Chain A
Amino acid sequence: MSHVFHPGHEALHGVTVVLDTVSGETYLGRYDSADERGVHLFDVGKHDEGAGGSREEFLRRSARFGIRVEQKHVVLPKASVARITPLGELTL
């Protein structure tokens, strides 16, 4: 099942997720919680279009070799979140 974000939904706590934003950014990290500040992810990598490689390649590489952590903790405003999907549920 793909998980679509619902405020206050904590079933994803501790799960490695792909978070896509409405502006087209993709984050990979361990979902912690959602509160008034936004969605909290830990041990986060981010797809950088400029660094070469598509989003799909970024996800495929991360699924195989793990997440290259760039930031320990990221908080993303809920309004910026388009979709949250467990990495383990993606077919890559």
Chain B
Amino acid sequence: MPYNPALVAPMREEMTRMGARELTTVPDVDAALGDQKGTMLVFVNSVCGCAAGNARPALRLALEHGVKPQQVVTVFAGQDLDATARARQYFADYQPSSPSMALIRDGEVVHFVHRHQIEGRSPQVIAADLTSAFDRHFGAAV
């Protein structure tokens, strides 16, 4: 059962403040991820305080890097159930976890950050891994 919307509103706002676009319905997801071109990061948001509480600031830090995805979109696991399930179909090779992040280039998942790669790590460390992945997969030379 989804949490009280008022409880998760700050977690949604934290994402939109950093420029992420929320995908709350299946048509939203299909419009963003179907026939996707360019570079994109999909952030699977979560109410989990210990993991998502570090993942969101980590992404904000990473987005200050010179090389970054052209688009950042987000679905909210446990809240927008259908949209999240649909988004996960676009990275079906990867088992669901939340929070998690998929880096996509021209419709192909080029890097995936699982929950276990977030847990117990500081935002700075997670951001360093992310920016390294941005350089590797989204850099101009790629």
Residues of A within 8 A of B (CB): 13-16, 62-69, 86-88
Contact = CB atoms under 8 A, between A and B. Distances in A.
A39 to B, nearest CB: 17
11 contacts: A14-B50, A15-B50, A15-B116, A15-B120, A16-B114, A63-B114, A63-B116, A64-B112, A65-B94, A66-B97, A69-B95
B55 interface: no
A68 B114 CA distance: 13
A6 B28 CA distance: 47
Contacts of B114: 16, 63, 66
B116 A88 contact: yes
Contacts, number: 41
Given A14-B48, A14-B50, A14-B51, A66 B96 contact: yes
Contacts of A65: 93-95, 112
B70 interface: no
Given A66-B95, A67-B95, A67-B97, A87 B48 contact: no
Highest count of chain A CB atoms <10 Å: which of B93, B114, B121: B114
Contacts of B82: none
